[in-house]
């Protein structure tokens, strides 16, 4: 292990299989003017592009803003290019996922615009459509992250960060996780008891859902080591044809910062963006290793054949793991 790059920290020998014999991390893009690379991370295989959202910043008019961008990765002979996207309907965008040949974005909303889920075209002029913005009349707090089940249902988290950061009204719902069925137009609360529910993903067989609780840090920036910085696992069981989350358990706890974005590979290993980079756990919750990135990683996404695109606020990085690694979402 003496010749292993310092970017990779190994806690279990099985991490070697994941990172391969020649792991590498390269800087793709950098922008010191604002934190352009924060959340979402939606890889489009057909065009070799990644859609991302920035962290919150103050625009020229003095208002809080989050910018959606498209990163054109190129073919290796040309540098990556970042293009900003104007989509005024999607206010304070955050998490995102591939959806129906487009992108499903979480809009945290504003004082006047709703928080909810928007479907956006991946092609200009990037038209967007609101899918859902309330729980039977009660507006969402600030929808944060989202994942789509193979049955077509949409699962998403809804913490109160927008209210704490001053751009959303007083919450009318608890910090919860929801399941929305677009065809039926029905919605259910499926999990509660969180401080701040954040990232969400399914295991490759969709029998488990992982949800991160980032209560360690509140929207006003205060942190407390006694609060959760934890990934919870739930079993998905069916009753009367409907899924219920059972057997809630601590899957893992981040030792540095919070576990924000979360995804699985096809072997069931769990990856999460944390305060020191991307942490990787086995399906049994054993910390296998870390891809260390100074300043941490909020979110990330898998590309093709072991590519991992990591969002590091003012920088976007590309890690090359073993060619055999595949993200469970796209399986490429």
pTM higher than 0.95, yes or no? yes
Looking at the domain assignment, is residue 298 inside a domain? yes
Q: Which domain holds residue 261?
A: 8-320
pLDDT of residue 1: 38
Looking at the domain assignment, is residue 153 inside a domain? yes
Looking at the domain assignment, is residue 19 inside a domain? yes
pLDDT (tens, 9 = 90+) of the chain, 332 residues, equals: 345 567 999 999 999 999 999 999 999 999 999 999 999 999 999 999 999 999 999 999 999 999 999 999 977 778 999 999 998 899 999 999 999 999 999 999 999 999 999 999 999 999 999 999 999 999 999 999 999 999 999 999 999 999 999 999 999 999 999 999 999 999 999 999 999 999 999 999 999 999 999 999 999 999 999 999 999 999 999 999 999 999 999 999 999 999 999 999 999 999 999 999 999 999 999 999 999 999 999 999 999 999 999 999 999 999 999 999 999 999 99
How many structural domains compose the chain? 1
Give the CATH number for residue 68: 2.120.10.30
How many residues does this entry show for the chain? 332
Tell me if residue 37 falls in helix, strand or coil: strand
Q: Tell the residue number behind the tokens 């055999």, with chain if given.
A: 324
Residue 319 and residue 313: Cα distance in Å, rounded?
A: 16
Looking at the domain assignment, is residue 220 inside a domain? yes
Looking at the domain assignment, is residue 80 inside a domain? yes
Looking at the domain assignment, is residue 1 inside a domain? no
**Residue 124: φ, ψ to 5°:** -55, 145
Looking at the domain assignment, is residue 308 inside a domain? yes
Residue 306 and residue 145: Cα distance in Å, rounded?
A: 23
Residue 188 and residue 179: Cα distance in Å, rounded?
A: 5
Looking at the domain assignment, is residue 325 inside a domain? no
Q: Tell the residue number behind the tokens 């007083």, with chain if given.
A: 170
């Amino acid at each position: 292990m003496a010749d292993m790059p310092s970017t990779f920290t190994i806690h279990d020998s099985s991490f070697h299989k994941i990172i391969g014999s020649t792991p590498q991390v390269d800087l793709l893009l950098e922008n010191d003017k604002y934190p352009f690379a924060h959340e979402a991370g939606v890889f489009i295989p057909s065009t070799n592009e990644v859609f991302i959202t920035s962290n919150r910043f103050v625009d020229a008019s003095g208002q809080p803003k989050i910018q959606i961008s498209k990163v054109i990765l190129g073919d290796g002979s040309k540098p990556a290019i970042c293009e900003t996207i104007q989509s005024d309907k999607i206010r304070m965008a955050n998490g995102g996922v591939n959806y129906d040949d487009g992108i499903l974005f979480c809009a945290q909303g504003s004082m006047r615009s709703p928080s909810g889920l928007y479907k956006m075209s991946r092609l200009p002029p990037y038209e967007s459509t609101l899918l859902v913005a309330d729980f039977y009349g009660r507006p969402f707090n600030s929808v944060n992250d989202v994942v789509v089940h193979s049955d077509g249902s949409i699962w998403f988290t809804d913490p109160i960060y927008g209210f704490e950061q001053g751009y959303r009204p007083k919450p009318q719902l608890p910090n919860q996780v929801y399941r929305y069925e677009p065809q039926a137009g029905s919605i259910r609360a499926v999990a509660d008891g969180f401080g701040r529910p954040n990232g969400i993903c399914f295991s490759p067989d969709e029998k488990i859902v992982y949800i991160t609780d980032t209560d360690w840090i509140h929207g006003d920036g205060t942190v407390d080591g006694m609060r959760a910085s934890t990934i919870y696992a739930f079993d998905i069981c069916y009753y009367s044809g409907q899924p219920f989350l059972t057997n809630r358990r601590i899957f893992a706890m981040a030792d540095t910062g919070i576990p924000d974005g979360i995804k699985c590979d096809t072997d069931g290993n769990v990856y999460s963006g944390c305060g020191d980079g991307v942490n990787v756990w086995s399906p049994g919750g054993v910390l296998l290793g870390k891809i260390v990135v100074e300043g941490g990683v909020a979110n990330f996404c898998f590309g093709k054949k072991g590519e991992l695109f990591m969002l590091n606020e003012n920088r976007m990085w590309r890690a090359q793991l073993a060619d055999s690694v595949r993200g469970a979402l796209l399986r490429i």
